[in-house]
């Protein structure tokens, strides 16, 4: 019986198999083609809508600042928008947000509600700024953003703007607050959850809130500011008069974390491994089968840029190392040995020393130096790239601090401090499209990416070196003789810092050649020679920095070596300025 059933089942199955007519191969192909076509259309559409971060302004022209394309973002990405009212700390706010593994993006203060709706950020942070809300043409956001139901945090000027637009009163303070102040927390909820009742905070304001708007309560105060933090919990709108983003504010990152995670409901998912995956995909989408040329300097920024692009498109990347005569001692040989020898990256070395020095002749203005160097850099690239076919893109290792110190668009009134060579010095008729995959990242984020990509610590932990090179460390006119003096002095500074095991503890250590001469006595003879300044600073991301209190014995050793070994120098001084108010570089 079992056999009969088994045999019957076999016969029935056989009949079913025979009854099935195979589908024509063409029909199967058409169905597959239809699916692939739909996917490609969706992929193109999603690529277009994707936020230009983590590869912000992936392909752009040098004249672009804030525009609609740089604001595209997929709805699935959690992002916090920072509305830029001109604070020098705006991108520091962005950095602190990312430290909580939440992606942040700086947008113009006057971004429209329609753009915000399209990009669906989880929260808005209104930055500080140099103006007062009652000034003529003071920057204010669109009133409609307060009706969108999106959590908002105003910082310094941002809090004053909220107060002003909700018909509170902002006026001059009797006593301005610049520096540390003791903050008394009046409400340990939401924004100030899990914090002590007394904190040291960093103030920087000349105005204060005199009258709270309707619906708001004061949640913190200082001795000079009765209203130092405000909240409208029904609307999820908060404000702080101090700067939680700076290191001087105790538990400042906890305050930002409370806003992001507890109030906005963000999930901490922004990581550098995800950045690498997303950036590589976008590079492939934008570049296609074209070629990219990259200026490889040997520094962290260009090295990580090269490795990231090389991982994305391989041999389509062609690196060009330009010897502009403004490099440190033995730099050319070191770059060739590391990248051409070790990493087997396509590398062409161009000797353009005479070209750069000729154009810098008689130029003393630092902004002019930067623009000349950027302009000549592109011209050298154009001349070299003529030998390569199908080259359409130029890659640069521009970082966030470079942008914040050089961009002052109408939509974001940040004061221009200096023009970065990668940002402000490019000619309008540049023949390449610009690729800047690291444009939205800070130095420490870039180093994490480099480690993921396999770069050795000798490259990753190298101190930052400015793109314009020694030209902005030779104060005044740049000549071959003055460069040689600085190059030798700089080598001694680095050598002694490394011997003292301080190289990796210091953000930057270098020498500066001043445009003055002083009287000295060497042997029994009077001298009238140059002055070298030593600059050593500590920093986390280059946005703020403090001078390093290195041992007097080490300072003396460096000074003695420079005076004895570098011909043309008879005096050495040490720079004890912090950023702000000074910048790290002298020019």
Q: Is the pLDDT of residue 283 over 80?
A: yes
Mean pLDDT of 524-535: 93
The b/e string for 240-271 (b: 16+ C-beta within 10 A; e otherwise) is bbbbbbbbebbbbbbbbbbbbeebbebeeebe
Q: Predicted confidence band at 339 (pLDDT cuts at 50, 70, 90)?
A: confident
The number of angstroms, rounded, from the C-alpha of 77 to the middle of its chain's C-alpha atoms is 20
Residue range 173-204, pLDDT digits in tens: 666 667 788 899 999 999 999 999 999 998 87
Rounded alpha-carbon distances, angstroms, from residue 316 to 56, 93, 312, 345, 394: 21, 36, 9, 10, 12
Residue range 143-169, pLDDT digits in tens: 999 999 999 999 999 999 999 999 999
Q: What percent of the chain has pLDDT over 70?
A: 81
Highest mean pLDDT among 51-60, 102-111, 258-267, 412-421: 258-267
Higher pLDDT among residues 12 and 545, named by residue? 545
- Residue 15: the pLDDT is 45
Q: Is the pLDDT of residue 21 over 60?
A: no
Higher pLDDT among residues 12 and 31, named by residue? 12
Whole-prediction pTM: 0.65
Range scoring the smallest mean pLDDT among 393-407, 409-423, 484-498 = 409-423
Residue range 432-447, pLDDT digits in tens: 788 999 988 888 899 9
Higher pLDDT among residues 51 and 308, named by residue? 308
For 148, residues 6+ apart whose C-beta sits below 8 A from its C-beta are: 113, 116, 117
Residue 555 structure tokens: 């300072």
Residue range 209-236, pLDDT digits in tens: 889 999 999 999 988 888 999 999 999 9
Mean pLDDT of 338-362: 91
Q: Predicted confidence band at 37 (pLDDT cuts at 50, 70, 90)?
A: very low
What the chain holds in terms of domains, given with CATH numbers, is 63-263 (3.40.50.880), 272-460 (3.40.50.620), 473-574 (3.30.300.10)
Mean model confidence pLDDT for the chain: 82
For residues 8 and 481, what is the distance between their CA atoms, to the nearest angstrom?
A: 101
Higher pLDDT among residues 21 and 270, named by residue? 270
- Residue 363: the pLDDT is 94
Mean pLDDT of 64-76: 37
- Residue 33: the pLDDT is 36
Q: Is the pLDDT of residue 63 over 50?
A: no
Mean pLDDT of 243-257: 93
Q: Predicted confidence band at 386 (pLDDT cuts at 50, 70, 90)?
A: confident
Q: What percent of the chain has pLDDT over 90?
A: 54
For 324, residues 6+ apart whose C-beta sits below 8 A from its C-beta are: 352, 353, 355, 356, 373, 376, 377, 380, 469
For residues 269 and 398, what is the distance between their CA atoms, to the nearest angstrom?
A: 24
Pick the closest to residue 468 from 575, 327, 344, 566 (CA basis): 327
Are 96 and 122 spatial neighbours (Cβ–Cβ below 8 Å)? no
Are 511 and 534 spatial neighbours (Cβ–Cβ below 8 Å)? yes
Which residues are tagged catalytic?
Answer: 156, 243, 245
Range scoring the smallest mean pLDDT among 274-278, 367-371, 407-411, 562-566 = 407-411
> Token match 């105790």: residue?
250
Mean pLDDT of 114-129: 94
- Residue 44: the pLDDT is 33
- Residue 175: the pLDDT is 66
- Residue 205: the pLDDT is 67
Rounded alpha-carbon distances, angstroms, from residue 289 to 69, 285, 376, 392: 23, 9, 28, 10
* Burial (CB count within 10 angstroms: exposed 0-12, middle 13-18, buried 19+), residue 298: buried
- Residue 69: the pLDDT is 37
Q: Where are the beta strands (DSSP E) in 478-524?
A: 508-522
- Residue 38: the pLDDT is 32
The answer, yes or no, to whether the previous bond of 391 is cis (omega within 30 of 0) is no
Higher pLDDT among residues 126 and 337, named by residue? 126
> For the CA atoms of 43, 49, 55, 61, what is the dihedral angle to 10 degrees?
110
For residues 200 and 184, what is the distance between their CA atoms, to the nearest angstrom?
A: 9
- Residue 404: the pLDDT is 58
- Residue 350: the pLDDT is 93
- Residue 22: the pLDDT is 47
For residues 65 and 95, what is the distance between their CA atoms, to the nearest angstrom?
A: 20
Q: Is the pLDDT of residue 42 over 90?
A: no
- Residue 409: the pLDDT is 39
> Token match 């490394």: residue?
498
Highest mean pLDDT among 73-77, 344-348, 443-447, 503-507: 503-507
């Amino acid at each position: 019986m079992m056999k009969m059933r088994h045999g019957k089942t076999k016969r029935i199955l056989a009949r079913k198999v025979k009854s099935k007519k195979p589908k024509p191969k063409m029909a199967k192909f058409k169905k597959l083609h239809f699916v692939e076509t739909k996917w490609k259309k969706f992929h193109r559409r999603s690529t277009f809508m994707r936020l230009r971060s983590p590869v912000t302004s992936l392909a752009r022209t040098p004249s672009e600042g804030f525009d609609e394309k740089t604001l595209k973002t997929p709805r699935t990405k959690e992002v916090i928008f920072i509305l830029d009212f001109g604070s020098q700390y705006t991108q520091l706010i962005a950095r602190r947000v990312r430290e909580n593994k939440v992606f942040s993006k700086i947008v113009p203060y006057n971004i429209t509600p329609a753009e915000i709706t399209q990009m669906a950020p989880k929260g808005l942070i209104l930055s500080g700024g140099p103006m007062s809300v009652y000034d003529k043409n003071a920057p204010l956001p669109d009133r409609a953003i307060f009706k969108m139901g999106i959590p908002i945090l105003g910082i310094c000027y941002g809090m004053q703007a909220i107060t002003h637009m909700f018909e509170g009163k902002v006026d001059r303070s009797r006593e301005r607050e610049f520096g540390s102040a003791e903050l008394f927390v009046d409400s340990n909820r939401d924004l100030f959850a899990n914090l002590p009742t007394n904190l040291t905070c960093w103030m920087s304001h000349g105005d204060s809130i005199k009258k709270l708007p309707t619906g708001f309560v004061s949640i913190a105060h200082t001795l000079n500011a009765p209203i130092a933090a405000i909240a409208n919990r029904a609307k999820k709108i908060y404000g702080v008069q101090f700067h939680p983003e700076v290191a001087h504010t105790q538990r400042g990152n906890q305050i930002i974390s409370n806003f992001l995670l507890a109030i906005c409901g963000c999930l901490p998912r922004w990581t550098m491994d995800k950045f690498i995956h997303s950036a590589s995909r976008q590079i492939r989408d934008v570049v296609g089968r074209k070629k990219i040329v990259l200026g490889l300097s040997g520094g962290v920024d260009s090295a990580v840029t090269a490795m990231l692009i090389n991982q994305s498109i391989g041999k389509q990347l062609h690196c060009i190392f330009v010897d502009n005569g403004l490099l440190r001692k033995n730099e050319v040989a070191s770059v060739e040995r590391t990248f051409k020898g070790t990493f087997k990256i396509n590398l062409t070395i161009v000797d353009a020393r005479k070209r750069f020095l000729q154009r810098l002749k008689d130029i003393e203005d630092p902004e002019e130096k930067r623009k000349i160097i950027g302009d000549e850099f592109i011209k050298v690239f154009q001349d070299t790239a003529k030998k390569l076919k199908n080259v359409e893109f130029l890659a640069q290792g521009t970082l966030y601090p470079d942008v914040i110190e050089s961009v002052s668009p109408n939509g974001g009134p940040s004061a221009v401090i200096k023009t970065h060579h990668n940002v402000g010095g490019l000619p309008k008729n540049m023949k390449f499209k610009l690729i800047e995959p690291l444009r939205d990242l800070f130095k420490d984020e870039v180093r994490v990416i480099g480690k993921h990509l396999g770069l050795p610590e000798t490259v990753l932990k190298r101190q930052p070196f400015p793109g314009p090179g020694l030209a902005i460390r030779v104060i005044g006119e740049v000549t071959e003789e003055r460069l040689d003096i600085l190059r030798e002095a700089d080598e001694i500074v680095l050598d002694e810092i490394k011997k003292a095991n301080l190289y990796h503890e210091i953000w930057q250590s270098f020498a500066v050649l001043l445009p003055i001469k002083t009287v000295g006595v060497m042997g029994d003879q009077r001298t009238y020679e140059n002055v070298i300044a030593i600059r050593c600073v500590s920093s986390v991301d280059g946005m703020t920095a403090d001078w390093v209190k290195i041992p007097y014995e080490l300072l003396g050793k460096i000074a003695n070596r420079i005076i004895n070994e570098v011909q043309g120098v008879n005096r050495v001084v040490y720079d004890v300025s912090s950023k702000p108010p000074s910048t790290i570089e002298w020019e």
